[in-house]
Amino acid sequence: MFFECSAEPSVLAGLNSSPKYLLETNLGGTVNCLEFARRSSGLFIFLSTSRVYSMAPLQELNLSEGITRFELNREQSISGLSANGISEKFPTDTSRSLYGTSKLASEYLVQEYATAYGLKAVINRCGVIAGPGQFGKIDQGVYTLWVARHFFNRDLKYTGFGGTGKQVRDLIHIDDLVLLLEKQIAKQTGRNAETFNVGGGIKGSTSLLELTKICEEITGNSVGMAREKESSSVDIPWYISDCAKVQSTFDWAPKKTVVQLVSDIQDWLRKNKQMLQHSFS
C-alpha cells in the first residue's frame, strides 16, 4: 500500500513568486509516487485537500455574523452545500489557489492511473489536520500554532474578515485520520479512485475566536491578540466538511472533540517543552 502525503502544503505557496517549486513538488511528486505504484501493487491513498473547491463560491457563501462565528444561512443556491457542510458535489471548476489546483491536478492523475493501469486508489480531501507532533506555522498548521502560542505565552493575530476571528473551519485530529486510513486499508476498496471529504464536520468545527477561549481555559494563559482587518486573496470565511460519504463507506466517524485536540497538543508541548519552545516563536 502507498500513502501519497508529500507536498508543499501552504495555500500561500507561489503567490508572490514563481509557482515552479510548488508544482514540481506537488504534481511532480504525485507522478513519481504513481509511477512507483504502477509498477507494484496495493492500495494508493492520496491525501488531497478541501482547497480543491473553487474559491469564489466559498468566498461568496450566504453567511451571517454570529456572536462567536460566521454562521451559514439557510438560503443557499449552490450545489454540494447544506447544513451538514460542503460535500464532494461542491464546484471545483473555477480558481482554487495554486496549491488547491496542484492537488486537484494530482487527483485527476490518480484517477487516470486507476483507469489506465487498474491502480486501486482512494482520494481523501482533508479539511484542517491538526494534533500533537505537528509543527504549526501561520500558513499551515495554524491551529497547532494557536495552541502552542498560548502554551508558550506568545502573541497572536486575527487576520482577515475584519480581524474578528470569526472564520470557521472543521478540524480533524491526526488520531481520527489514522483510524480512517486503517479502515480504508482494511477494506481495500478503490477501483474508481473515488473522492471523499474528510474532516471533523460540524461537531469538530470552531472559529478562531472560539478556539482562543478553549486555549485560554486549557493552558491558563491569555495572550495578546492583534487584528488585521484585510483578508488575503486565498482566505475563506467558512469551511466545514460534509463527511456523510466517507462515514457511510468506511463506517468511520471522527471521535475527538476540539477540546480534546487542544488538550492533546498541550500534553505534547508539555512533554517536549525544552525542545519545542523555540519552534513556535
Ligand X SMILES: NC(=O)c1ccc[n+]([C@@H]2O[C@H](COP(=O)([O-])OP(=O)(O)OC[C@H]3O[C@@H](n4cnc5c(N)ncnc54)[C@H](O)[C@@H]3O)[C@@H](O)[C@H]2O)c1
Q: Cβ 142 to ligand X, closest distance in Å?
A: 9
Could you give the C-alpha distances from 102 to 49, 125, 213, 236, 279, in angstroms and in order?
10, 13, 35, 18, 28
Total residues contacting ligand X (rule CB under 6 A)?
A: 14
Which of these ranges, 69-77, 122-130, 220-228, 239-247, lies near ligand X under the rule CB under 6 A?
A: 122-130
Are the CB atoms for 53 and 86 separated by under 8 Å? yes
| Grid cell for residue 26 | 506537488
Question: Cell triple for residue 200?
Answer: 471533523
Report if residue 233 touches ligand X, rule: CB under 6 A: no
Q: Least CB distance from residue 89 to ligand X, whole Å? A: 19
Grid look-up 491525501 returns 47
- Among the candidate windows 121-129, 152-160, 179-187, 228-236, which touches ligand X by CB under 6 A? 121-129
Nearest residue to 142 via CA among 133, 132, 130, 154: 130
For position 279 contacting ligand X by CB under 6 A, the verdict is no
Q: How far is the CB of 72 from ligand X (least distance, A)?
A: 21
Which segment (123-131, 153-161, 180-188, 273-281) binds ligand X by CB under 6 A? 123-131
Give me the torsion for CA of 101, 127, 218, 83, rounded to 10°.
130
Considering only CA atoms, which of 176, 180, 175 is closest in space to residue 251? Answer: 180
How far is residue 200's CA from residue 86's CA, in Å, rounded to a whole number? Answer: 12
Query: What letters, b where the CB count within 10 A reaches 16 and e where it falls short, cover 7-41?
Result: bbbbbbbbbeeebeebbebbbebbeebbeebeeee
In the bound state with ligand X, the residue whose beta carbon lies nearer, of 63 and 129, is 129
- Taking the complex as a whole, how short is the minimal distance between the CB of residue 126 and ligand X, in angstroms? 4
- C-beta closer to ligand X: residue 45 or 209: 45
140 phi, psi to nearest 5 deg: -165, 125
Question: 126, 177 in Cβ contact below 8 A?
Answer: yes
13 binds ligand X (CB under 6 A): no
Residue 208 grid cell:
478562531
Of 1-9, 66-74, 213-221, 258-266, which part binds ligand X (CB under 6 A)? 1-9
- Site residues for ligand X, window 125-184 (CB under 6 A)? 126, 128-129, 140-141
Instruction: Give me the least distance between CB of 74 and ligand X, in Å please.
Output: 28
Q: Does 189 bind ligand X (CB under 6 A)?
A: no
Tell me whether residue 36 or residue 117 sits nearer to ligand X (CB atom): 36
Residue ranges in 66-105 that form contacts with ligand X under rule CB under 6 A:
103
Told to check if 9 binds ligand X by CB under 6 A, we report: yes
Q: How far is the CB of 141 from ligand X (least distance, A)?
A: 6
Binding residues for ligand X, rule: CB under 6 A, are 5-7, 9, 25, 29, 47, 49, 103, 126, 128-129, 140-141
